[in-house]
Amino acid sequence: MRGFAARADVEEVERFLAERVRPLPAQAVPLAACFGRVLAADIRSERDVPAFARAAMDGFALRGTESFGATDYDPIGLRVIGVALPGRPFAGVVGPGEAVRIMTGAPMPDGADAVAPAEICEEADGRVSVRDAVPPLRHVGARGEDVRAGETVLHAGRRLRPQDVGLLASIGIDTVWCHSRPRVALVMTGDELLPPGSRPEGAKIVDSNSLVLRGLALRDSAEIVAVEMLPDRPDRIRTALLRADVDVLLVSGGSSVGQEDFAPRLVAELGTLDFHGVAMRPSSPVGVGRIGKGQGLRASQAGPVPRSEAEPSEAERWVFLLPGNPVSCLCAYEFFAGPSLRALGGLPRAWPHRRARLPLARKIASAIGRVDYVRVAIENGCAVPLATSGASILSSTVRAAGAVIVPRGLEGVPEGAEVDVLLYDDAPLEAEGLP
Ligand code: AMP
Ligand code: MG
């Protein structure tokens, strides 16, 4: 066993990935499957929505000017010549002295330009009396009041919210060009691992990394196509690295330079190991590499951008070798795999965490030349670095409200200095319910 001869800088690896990892080609996605997907192109409406002027109240459609002067004591009387319902318009024309009973959402009949709400109307014997003035356009929704023809309703890069998908339906779209979701295999390696759901026994431990990685990768737009749990055996790891059906392999465990650490050597043999060993804590035994994908389209893919071999993200699978220690695994994912998955999926590379700027309750020690990822709790409006924070202490990430990143150029951060806490949670701080 020997240590790393040299370690890369975090920024160097980040820059390399930022330059090489490009969005996957778009695919046509039916509306019902669009929620959470990332738009690959702007969406313009070809039509006005609604396509007709519509009643905004239940009541009577009439000619507004005819109601001028109407009061409780001197209502106007109109002849009711028909009914307009949503989806069942009134076919005739409203002439002078006439009205049509109308329900909210029904198209305005020709000739009418205002709706007298039911509350100010009384209908009897085929006539309606209206007790107040309703000027033209009152209680009428104009054609195109929701969306105008030609309007861009959503921009490329948008992660579709439920209401976005609803709007797409309303403008008459059935499928949408979305970025393909990066297809990810989680490969857990270690002779000591039991599958999640087992009871830890003897010298065995239960794999937790696959669950953490699954959640993180789903957050970052990935589709998890496989989870494998492998012993520390090079033949088994080699087979997993050659999976043809993925864009990204997240390999946990065996990422260092020990005798059981096969993955880095295998990646170098099967493709390129671009980085191995990074000046950071935790996660220093992290690796990044690529393995050629060979040719052929994915069955699920079809898009306006043809797949070309020149495009590295298409011709290669990215391999992230993540240390097995749970905190290292999470941290290495956040620094390198997360931005790459987001970039493949058409999302911004930047970390998605909300930030809180808080004073530091106790100093953080670091070293020049190294990036530190420090878990902090939040107490009394201060960021408190957690004491039991070894890379194997998964519970430190559960007790923490977030993490502080100490950049390479600093020896540490003094007590009282303001730091940016990358929050693990989207919930407001008061609602965190931390013990
Ligand atoms: P390794 O990176 O394989 O040297 O593993 C470092 C430490 O992380 C060891 O204590 C492992 O038992 C632990 N570990 C490895 N893989 C996992 C996993 N999937 N889940 C939880 N802990 C793990
Ligand atoms: Mg191991």
> How is 357-411 classified by DSSP, letter by letter?
EEEBSS-EE--TT-EEEEEEEEETTEEEE-SS--TT-THHHHH-SEEEEEPTT-S
The whole-number pLDDT of residue 294 equals 62
Binding site membership of 208 for ligand 1 (Cβ less than 6 Å): yes
Which ligand has the shortest distance to the CA of 186?
A: 1
Distance separating alpha carbons of residues 2 and 337, to the nearest angstrom: 26
- Please give the C-alpha separations between residue 383 and each of 281, 358, 362, 412, 425, in angstroms, as whole numbers: 19, 6, 8, 14, 15
Which ligand has the shortest distance to the CA of 321?
A: 1
Mutational test site, ligand 1, from 188, 189, 208, 209, max ligand atoms within 8 Å of CB: 209
Instruction: For residue 7, report the distance from its CA to the centre of ligand 1, in Å.
Output: 21
Query: For the sheet containing 59-62, what is the strand order?
Result: 114-117, 59-62, 98-102, 76-84, 127-130, 121-124
The whole-number pLDDT of residue 304 equals 41
Q: What are phi and psi of 333, to 5 degrees?
A: -60, -50
The whole-number pLDDT of residue 427 equals 65
Instruction: For residue 403, report the distance from its CA to the centre of ligand 1, in Å.
Output: 21
Distance separating alpha carbons of residues 63 and 308, to the nearest angstrom: 63
Tens digit of each residue's pLDDT, the chain (435 residues)? 568 989 999 999 999 999 999 999 999 999 999 999 999 999 999 999 999 999 999 999 999 999 999 999 999 999 999 999 999 999 999 999 999 999 999 999 999 999 999 999 999 999 999 999 999 999 999 999 999 999 999 999 999 999 999 999 999 999 999 999 999 999 999 999 999 999 999 999 999 999 999 999 999 999 999 999 999 999 999 999 999 899 999 999 999 999 999 999 999 999 999 999 999 999 999 999 999 986 333 433 433 444 443 344 457 999 999 999 999 999 999 999 999 999 999 999 999 999 999 999 999 999 999 999 999 999 999 999 998 769 999 999 999 999 999 999 999 999 999 999 999 998 655 554 444
Nearest to 89 by CA among 75, 102, 74: 102
Instruction: For residue 229, report the distance from its CA to the centre of ligand 2, in Å.
Output: 12
Binding site membership of 209 for ligand 1 (Cβ less than 6 Å): yes
Instruction: For residue 261, report the distance from its CA to the centre of ligand 2, in Å.
Output: 7
Ligand 1 atom having least distance to the Cα of 229 = 19
Binding site membership of 64 for ligand 1 (Cβ less than 6 Å): no
Count of beta carbons in the 10 Å neighbourhood of residue 310? 6
Instruction: For residue 288, report the distance from its CA to the centre of ligand 1, in Å.
Output: 18
The whole-number pLDDT of residue 428 equals 58
The whole-number pLDDT of residue 307 equals 40
The whole-number pLDDT of residue 220 equals 97
Nearest to 81 by CA among 57, 105, 108, 61: 61
The whole-number pLDDT of residue 295 equals 33
Binding site membership of 207 for ligand 1 (Cβ less than 6 Å): yes
Ligand 1 atom having least distance to the Cα of 188 = 19
Instruction: For residue 259, report the distance from its CA to the centre of ligand 2, in Å.
Output: 10
Instruction: For residue 111, report the distance from its CA to the centre of ligand 1, in Å.
Output: 76
Binding site membership of 326 for ligand 1 (Cβ less than 6 Å): yes
The whole-number pLDDT of residue 11 equals 98
Nearest to 344 by CA among 14, 16, 33, 25: 25
Distance separating alpha carbons of residues 405 and 168, to the nearest angstrom: 40
Instruction: With beta carbons less than 8 A apart as the criterion, state whether 375 and 403 touch.
Output: yes
Nearest CA to ligand 1 atom 7: 325
Binding site membership of 228 for ligand 1 (Cβ less than 6 Å): no
The whole-number pLDDT of residue 387 equals 82
Binding site membership of 325 for ligand 1 (Cβ less than 6 Å): yes
Count of beta carbons in the 10 Å neighbourhood of residue 51? 12
Instruction: With beta carbons less than 8 A apart as the criterion, state whether 109 and 94 touch.
Output: yes
Which ligand has the shortest distance to the CA of 252?
A: 1
Nearest CA to ligand 1 atom 20: 207
Distance separating alpha carbons of residues 381 and 366, to the nearest angstrom: 23
Residue type at position 287:
G
The whole-number pLDDT of residue 302 equals 37
Pairing of strands 248-252, 316-322: parallel
The whole-number pLDDT of residue 297 equals 36
The whole-number pLDDT of residue 426 equals 80
Nearest CA to ligand 1 atom 10: 325
Mutational test site, ligand 1, from 193, 261, 331, max ligand atoms within 8 Å of CB: 193
pTM for the full predicted model: 0.89
